[in-house]
Structure 1
Amino acid sequence: MADEDVPTAEETAAEEPALIHGAPSSLSRGQLVVHVDRSKYMEIVTALRDDGYAFCSDLTAADYLLAIDRPLPVGVAPERFEVVVSLLSMDEGKRVRVRAQVPEHEPTLPTLFELFPGTEAMEREVYDMFGIVFEGHPDLTRILMPDDWEGHPLRKDYPIGRIPVQFKEAPGPR
């Protein structure tokens, strides 16, 4: 079979849920989404990088405390937290979104810093705002909130209190 006869991952995902490097995938608004198990997170992100998705444009998280029963592909168990990584293939002009479910009782994932050094600040922000720990991160410290701040403000169960916050390194008068 010639290469042009082999469907792309995007074409396969549009027809039916496909496995990308062993993980279920879907299409969301025309973008390929790969749903990775936490235990395969590094392996699959490394494989995608080796496939040409060599730039990580974003890494963030979501707290689904109030939407734990959201729809996910068959075989993907919903957890309270989800880490979302956007990878780009600059050569192909393609984008893939990686979604990893992270349980509330053990909110950890391996760091992507060794693969994508630009994720250093993104992982610190997710840690600061959601409390998700990136194991192996070279400097997993708060980046926005003061060092002595208690809790993680973007968690859905964080108390609302209108507490004035002096963010780190706030600019002084000009």
Structure 2
Amino acid sequence: MTEPSGTSKDDAEPTGGEHSSSEVSGAALEQQRARGGEDALAGVRPAARITETRTRSGMFGVRGSGDTSGYGGLRLPGHAPAPAERPFGGWFDEFADELGAALDERSIPRDAIEQVTIDRDEMTLYVQPAKLNAVARTMRDDPALRFEFCSSVSGVDYSAPDGSPVDRPLHVTYHLLSMTYRRRIRLEVAMDIENLHVDSVVDVYPTADWHERETWDMFGVVFDGHPALTRILMPDDWDGHPQRKSYPLGGIPVEYKGAEIPPPDERRAYS
């Protein structure tokens, strides 16, 4: 049996319990998106600014022939995180109250949290890029929150393969763990391709050092304040960021035992 921690969390619902989902909680999904959620952190909420991307088809951006992956017929819906509405369910409501109070105590405006999404029993807080470091420090230091560990930092490019405009398509996600209260939270930042700048959190979570370097290397996100933002996977003189949707697919033939294997986008399709 787990020893009591001496905090209010002893009586809270255990992690993994029944939680609400942004797809079913509150009003109809379309109304949720139109309103941007209501009173997500017990304060004035900004309008939702995390917008829907285009439906994806196929794999790796290949069009016509050349897709040898077997996923040429793949169809995925556009990424559209619906804002959650209260009551969130589980421990999420208590967490939202505590985070709102902690932001107020540190004079951090509550609209630093652009949107709250709850889906598949996971909570995501969309944070303004310029407020990320302050929010992360609050998440770590406040006694009622205590998210002591950042387990990963990674990038996601939601750009449309056909080049159609997408609002703030490049996201950076941060997975935080509270070892004190056994809780997990995701922070996410959405940015324009023309302004890929976000606060570094290395001074808050030293484990983010190489994670941020890899995200810079693969996606081109500039982490302002990082102590040594250099490439970690590609050579120092490499041109471009390989996991961006705009990056060419292969394009380099490979020689193998006297034969030449063409780049993936030039190979013959088998279906």
Q: TM-score range by the shorter chain?
A: 0.7 to 0.9
Question: Is the alpha carbon distance of 1:116 and 1:164 closer, same or farther for their aligned partners in structure 2, counting shifts above 3 Å?
Answer: farther
After superposition, the CA RMSD in angstroms is 2.9
Q: Once structures 1 and 2 are overlaid, which stretch shifts more, 97-106 or 40-49?
A: 40-49
Is 1:141 the counterpart of 2:247 in the alignment?
Answer: no
Deviations 1:137-161 (A, max 9, x none): 1110000001111000000011123
- Count matched residues: 153
TM-score, normalising length from structure 1?
A: 0.77
Is 1:43 the counterpart of 2:134 in the alignment?
Answer: yes
Gap regions ≥5 residues in structure 2:
1-7, 27-36, 42-95, 101-109, 255-271
Per the TM alignment, residue 69 of structure 1 is displaced from its structure 2 partner at its CA by 8.4
Q: Once structures 1 and 2 are overlaid, which stretch shifts more, 46-55 or 93-102?
A: 46-55
Question: Is the alpha carbon distance of 1:145 and 1:28 closer, same or farther for their aligned partners in structure 2, counting shifts above 3 Å?
Answer: same
Partner of 1:82, secondary structure, is: strand
What amino acid is the match of 2:232?
I
Is 1:125 the counterpart of 2:125 in the alignment?
Answer: no
**For the residues of structure 2 that align with 1:164 and 1:107, how far apart are their CA atoms?**
31
Once superposed, which parts of structure 1, at least 4 consecutive aligned residues long, lie more than 6 Å away?
10-14, 67-70
- Bigger-Rg structure (1/2): 2
**For the residues of structure 1 that align with 2:20 and 2:136, how far apart are their CA atoms?**
19
What does 1:1-174 correspond to in 2, within 5 Å? 17=37, 18-19=40-41, 20=96, 21=100, 22=110, 23=113, 24-50=115-141, 51-66=145-160, 78-163=167-252
Per the TM alignment, residue 25 of structure 1 is displaced from its structure 2 partner at its CA by 1.3
**For the residues of structure 2 that align with 1:154 and 1:163, how far apart are their CA atoms?**
16
Gap regions ≥5 residues in structure 1:
71-77, 166-174
Deviations 1:37-72 (A, max 9, x none): 1222122112111221110001001011118888xx
TM-score, normalising length from structure 2?
A: 0.51
Indicate the structure with greater strand content: 1
